[in-house]
Chains A and B, each alone.
Chain A
């Protein structure tokens, strides 16, 4: 602890901070622009000027930037001194010289850090009487809008984009008052994290283009704390709506998970919730077409189908909540419930869960992953399968070189000095994947190979760390030397991190990664092991599943089922076309609870409109086993509701059970699944109140409430009540610091922008006031003797006539629902089949873009050729999840023709 004096009052503050952080953490309103809690200090904007005094006798002091001033013992500053005030107001005045003052037409207006800081600084009279300089704006792609005239040149955008996220195509151009932040020419901003510029930019230079399509001011949005369903990481989001459509997604700060950032898939992939393809009422297929049907009638009919003695099976979903999966399981009975993924995938996830539960190695959170100093990625294209993990790993790569700066006592917050010292260097970072991935640009060694060869490399590394492990037979010299250098680097690190996942559908890869981590643990290393899984609730659903879809197919093949209930699942996306058709045809009646029309809903008999994350409340479990609650943003004016609500109604009818609210279902769930006990603690129950108050979803400045439906009825209806959470759908409720899982927006007096988050944290950049939301379900047992996996696969030998086809992932396109959003759609690549040049030539294929034919499940597919020379011989890659490749189950072997 250090003692500092702020305006002559003594404070005890933690060591190693700068004075700006300290002042903000203590609750002082000190203006700043270029400093960001995740990007640290560069001292460029000069907005946090305070008077720094040498000692108590120094009455004059000098203006110093608080962000560059270490909060060391005896530091003495004044925020309130007139000279400091005048300087800050003068600085804002100069920043505003060229600012267009277009707040009324600016998307940032009302949540603008520049507005907040201008008011805070006290600058209110403009002495500048010349023309403003103007800039030309750029087209930056479907996600971001560019309005350079609003820029106040704080450099945050390039620092985030280039230094933090590793982007290459945004930079600062020109000099003096002509400074320009943009691309060298118009074009799509390519980095996967570009959307964060919306929140990083303190004013309206970079704004959300998708929000612009249906713009609403911040104060008019009704928001709910939610969890991104785009991948398995479970990043926290704030989803906002007005007039019943979702308008935008913002980061919900969670110091343990995503911190201040989101990936572009998560931020801009929400528009499918507003899609015209949404199923918004119960439908029944009558002579080949769907007809609307009264809910009650639908229930009666489905109930009749499911009556006594009928053979009913249910297929769950890795993108539906625990509660929905649980109720389906309850409704159809334990033995008739199947997890909605292939057996291959299900068994892999089971194995991952087993390692998480029984292994003795910690699975760090997304935030903790940033703290490791050596990384070994085993078989995962993280940027495309779990994008935010790639962002964390990019930070981890800086830790080793940063030590050199710490050695000369440069603190972490002094980003400008650290950049000088570290330059472009990165720490030990090894990647073994099927083909070239984006993180290769920071890797110290990359290996491309068949999943079995990746696993062999992993086993070789583990063996070099622990000599007692069996050595890898027939290892070639190249991978032997690579495995030595990987083992050496991991052993030299303080905190090595192993990252793997299920994306290659390879048990061997998962086992090899665990072996490396176990071996490091035995060497006393503080090792971390992260597995990514395919979907938002893959772990949660698998925890509730004994069997998976292939088991269901086997069963219906043997004996037809009367009714198949499908929960939020397009089977064609998860199992092959042939299998999907098989199961749909072998069930007499198919009832689906689904968000949007898809290939599966084409062959159903009844459809119930299920809520997406926007209209549902529930709990999902992410890849590290963290259970997190998401809340419905609004009650739609159609029949859409959480799947578990539909299932609960069905259950009432069938089993005359009582209607249950959300908390009762959670209670029932944990009673039957004691290992999920902690999900009850992820958020307060619905009867939680602060005093007598609920927690509002709308800010207190929400407007238009009495006129929103005046075209229908002039009297304001009673606001809907949320029985499933302690939150109201209106502005009524407690507006102070709310429980962290239930905070729907960030606002504090004088802080209207996203940076109001400072007020919700114990210290800026630290945990939220009552802890970060989410509960981890499994923790490693340090004392357990981990069992090594001893099956070392033999090396892959490409066959002359057949190719092994593996999925290649794309951040835009490989996820089923986000791919339906307009903005994301623009970024989905053309479908292709990728081969290396050598392989292409052997098949008589020459030109990239030429047509390639192959057979999958007896059907001919035709795609254009893409040359990817990093792919090993004998392996072809297909983009997973694209329209053109939907209905393919991986991996498979095929012959190809030109």
Chain B
């Protein structure tokens, strides 16, 4: 199996082996992210292929520091785009609806609608930086990797109730942070 730097070189050389090597090395990783967002196998596979195309088109000019993470982000974004598309087509039976995000939406329904995405990213980054490591991991596993509470509890060797409690507190704190920054309007 090639090193990431060698695979990136293949992309720069426009060698089709780059795709093959990426699939060999990261299919499991990438597909596991997609599968948590999109349940339908065909849609998930198409999503993976779309992600590979995006990767091919973005390297060059990009030279990612960490190919795994870079691919992970592309895959996640592609899956979410496809999910939006599928939701629009009301193929709800074929997708994971992200219903686990419902609490998240409820908690943040009064957020400033004009907030810029990158401002929000900056606030979330700064917020995460201030949290305990375990809390940060649980939050990111839930909202980036879309793990279920049970999977989070197993991955971190904590009980499900503790994972739920951490998530509840994190959402509360993030909301407080947004209120402080002036991006959340209390009713």
Q: Do A and B share a complex?
A: no
Residues of A within 8 A of B (CB): none
Residues of B within 8 A of A (CB): none
